[in-house]
Amino acid sequence: MRTTIDIPEDLMKEAMKVTNSSTKTELIKIALKNIIQKNNIKSLKKYKGKIDLNIDLNIIRSRDENIN
């Protein structure tokens, strides 16, 4: 999708340097993925302490050994 946006040049240059992006398109893709990832993490954090994962790793490991 083509979109025209007005981004301050100094902000764009600094962001490209920080992310080591070679193109503006690559930079925007990285930024959008980063926003989505941070939002997903934020959404998952609301479940902290609310889900009981009573997992015994030794049981899981022994199951893996029995399969092989």
Q: What is the tally of structural domains in the chain?
A: 1
pTM comes to 0.65
For 26-37, b/e burial (b = at least 16 CB within 10 A) is ebbebeeeeeee
60 is a domain residue: yes
For the chain, the C-alpha Rg in angstroms (whole number) is 21
2 is a domain residue: no
30 is a domain residue: yes
3 is a domain residue: no
1 is a domain residue: no
- CA 16/CA 28 separation, integer angstroms: 9
56 is a domain residue: yes
Q: Mind listing the pLDDT tens digit for each residue in 10-38?
A: 999 999 999 999 999 999 999 999 999 99
39 is a domain residue: yes
